[in-house]
């Protein structure tokens, strides 16, 4: 059983991706994987979660400057969890062996899928818009933002949540699951208690886009 977020994509990223810069990027990717699993990269311990979401910090391993956009050859999509969908842009320098490992975990129409960039962009409604059950951030341009994140941060997983948010860390994904359960149980109660302050909303797309894309 997969833990949250689905680790099919992250496991492939962490175990089979090489990098021309050597050990440092691999260590950075390990930190990303630890943060997604909800562990401290030095101790392996899971952070406390008191149920009060706060703005998540930028994941370890992302560049300090915003990279130039590059269209990736492929996008890996993980729909294993209803509360969010995880997307990963496959780097252009991925070897055939690495691609085979990705393909072995993916199949068309299944929970985990590998599609070309052109297919992904031309069918954004199918792959992105359709995963939003109820849009809490209609002014955020979340679909455009996810596409741009994938163009700039290859080999980094990004989550599109059921309500049009963006998840980067373990706590982001757990928050998405928690509020999705509340929404399914009682939509009116969910609407009445939803976090309105973007500084306390861990999945607010505008906050993430401001940090990672310099969008206003």
Average pLDDT over residues 182-193: 95
pLDDT > 90: what percent of the chain?
56
* Whether the predicted pLDDT of 53 surpasses 90: no
Chain-centre distance for alpha carbon 157: 4
Q: How confident is the model at residue 29, as a pLDDT? A: 38
- Other beta carbons within 10 angstroms of residue 77's beta carbon come to 21
Length, in residues, of the chain: 216
E-state strands within the chain: 74-78, 84-90, 112-116, 158-161, 166-167
pLDDT in tens, 16-36: 433 333 333 333 433 443 333
Q: What are phi and psi of 113, to 5 degrees?
A: -135, 150
How far apart are the C-alpha atoms of 28 and 21, rounded to whole Å?
Answer: 12
Average pLDDT over residues 176-191: 96
- Other beta carbons within 10 angstroms of residue 49's beta carbon come to 13
* Whether the predicted pLDDT of 197 surpasses 90: no
* Whether the predicted pLDDT of 56 surpasses 60: no
Q: Write down the H helix ranges in the chain.
A: 7-16, 23-37, 96-103, 117-122, 124-127, 142-152, 170-185, 187-193, 205-212
Average pLDDT over residues 87-106: 89
* Whether the predicted pLDDT of 184 surpasses 60: yes
Residues in a beta bridge with 77: 87, 113
How far apart are the C-alpha atoms of 104 and 98, rounded to whole Å?
Answer: 10
pLDDT in tens, 132-171: 999 999 999 999 999 999 999 999 999 999 999 999 999 9
pLDDT in tens, 101-143: 888 888 887 889 999 999 999 999 999 999 999 999 999 999 9
Average pLDDT over residues 209-216: 93
How far apart are the C-alpha atoms of 71 and 1, rounded to whole Å?
Answer: 32
Q: How confident is the model at residue 9, as a pLDDT? A: 52
> What's the sign of the alpha-carbon dihedral 99, 104, 106, 107?
positive
Residue boundaries of the structural domains of the chain: 7-47+55-212
**pLDDT class for 65, splitting at 50, 70, 90?**
confident
Q: Which residues of 50-69 are buried (b: 16+ CB within 10 A; e: fewer)?
A: eeebebbeebbbbeeeeeee
């Amino acid at each position: 059983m997969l833990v949250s977020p689905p680790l099919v994509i992250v496991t492939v990223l962490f175990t089979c991706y090489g990098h021309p810069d050597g050990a440092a990027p691999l260590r950075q990717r390990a930190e990303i994987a630890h943060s997604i699993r909800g562990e401290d990269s030095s101790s392996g311990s899971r952070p406390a979660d008191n149920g009060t979401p706060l703005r998540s910090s930028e994941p370890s391993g992302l560049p300090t400057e915003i990279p130039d956009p590059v269209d990736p050859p492929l996008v890996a999509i993980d729909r294993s969890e209803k509360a969010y969908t995880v997307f990963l842009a496959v780097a252009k320098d991925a070897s055939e062996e690495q691609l085979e490992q990705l393909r072995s975990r993916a199949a068309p129409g299944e929970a985990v899928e590998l599609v070309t960039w052109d297919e992904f962009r031309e069918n954004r409604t199918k792959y992105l818009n359709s995963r939003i059950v109820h849009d809490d951030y209609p002014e955020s341009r979340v679909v455009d933002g996810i596409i741009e994140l994938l163009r700039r941060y290859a080999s980094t997983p990004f989550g599109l949540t059921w309500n049009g948010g963006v998840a980067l860390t373990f706590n982001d994904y757990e928050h998405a699951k928690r509020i999705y359960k509340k929404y399914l149980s009682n939509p009116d109660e969910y609407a009445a208690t939803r976090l309105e302050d973007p500084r306390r909303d861990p999945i607010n797309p505008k906050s993430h886009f401001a940090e990672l894309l310099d969008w206003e």
